[in-house]
């Protein structure tokens, strides 16, 4: 027999599984992390539970295998995903591109057409300026050159 000053700490015993566990087959440790039950222990617990309880669909969990499929529904998750992806693509086409970001895939194709361009909205004007950037820079440079030349000629 050894003498120690440390208190005796009991081993952690996981709680028994229930049918209403948030994650069937797992239990939560005191630290907050999750651990799996031993599969044999887990299945033996529910086999014993099935023998004790009679349910409307047969004997407990064993009756689930024998249950008729009448009340069940098949849900196709991919059908809803395809619709959402299509709607997301349409919304993406409707929004204006961010002209100043590096990752924008905006390609200048000339003058903006449609209602936004006709109403002289700021976004349409920005798109036009971005699309015709090189031509605008050349025009600004030519105007500066002309102003400098006329200033030298007439003394401005």
DSSP string of 91-135, one letter each residue: HHHHSPP-TT-TT------SS--SHHHHTT-HHHHHHHHHHTHHH
In the chain, the percentage of residues whose pLDDT exceeds 70 is 67
Output the CA–CA distances (angstroms, integers) from residue 108 to 25, 63, 128, 132, in the order listed.
Answer: 57, 65, 8, 8
In the chain, the percentage of residues whose pLDDT exceeds 90 is 10
Q: Is the pLDDT of residue 70 over 80?
A: no
Output the CA–CA distances (angstroms, integers) from residue 38 to 23, 24, 35, 49, 78, in the order listed.
Answer: 14, 12, 9, 17, 34
pLDDT of residue 129: 82
Q: What is the mean pLDDT of the chain?
A: 75
Confidence bin at 101 (pLDDT 50/70/90): low
Confidence bin at 106 (pLDDT 50/70/90): low
Count of Cβ atoms closer than 10 Å to residue 124 Cβ: 19
Furthest CA-CA distance within the chain: 112
Residues 119-126, mean pLDDT to the nearest whole number = 75
Residues 51-78, mean pLDDT to the nearest whole number = 60
Query: Which pTM does this prediction carry?
Result: 0.29
Cα(156)–Cα(150) distance, integer angstroms? 8
pLDDT of residue 138: 93
pLDDT of residue 66: 57
């Amino acid at each position: 027999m050894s003498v120690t000053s440390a208190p005796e700490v009991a081993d952690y015993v996981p709680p028994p599984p229930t049918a209403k566990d948030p994650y069937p087959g797992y239990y939560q440790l005191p630290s907050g992390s999750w651990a799996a039950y031993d599969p044999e222990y887990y299945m033996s617990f529910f086999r014993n539970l099935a023998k004790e309880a009679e349910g409307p669909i047969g004997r407990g969990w064993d009756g689930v295998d024998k249950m008729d499929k009448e009340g069940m529904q098949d849900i196709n998750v991919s059908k809803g995903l395809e619709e959402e992806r299509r709607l997301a693509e349409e919304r993406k086409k409707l929004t204006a591109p961010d002209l100043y970001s590096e990752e924008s895939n905006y390609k200048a194709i000339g003058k903006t057409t449609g209602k936004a361009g006709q109403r002289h909205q700021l976004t349409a004007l920005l798109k036009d300026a971005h699309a015709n950037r090189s031509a605008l820079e050349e025009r600004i440079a030519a105007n500066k050159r002309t102003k400098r030349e006329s200033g030298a000629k007439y003394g401005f």
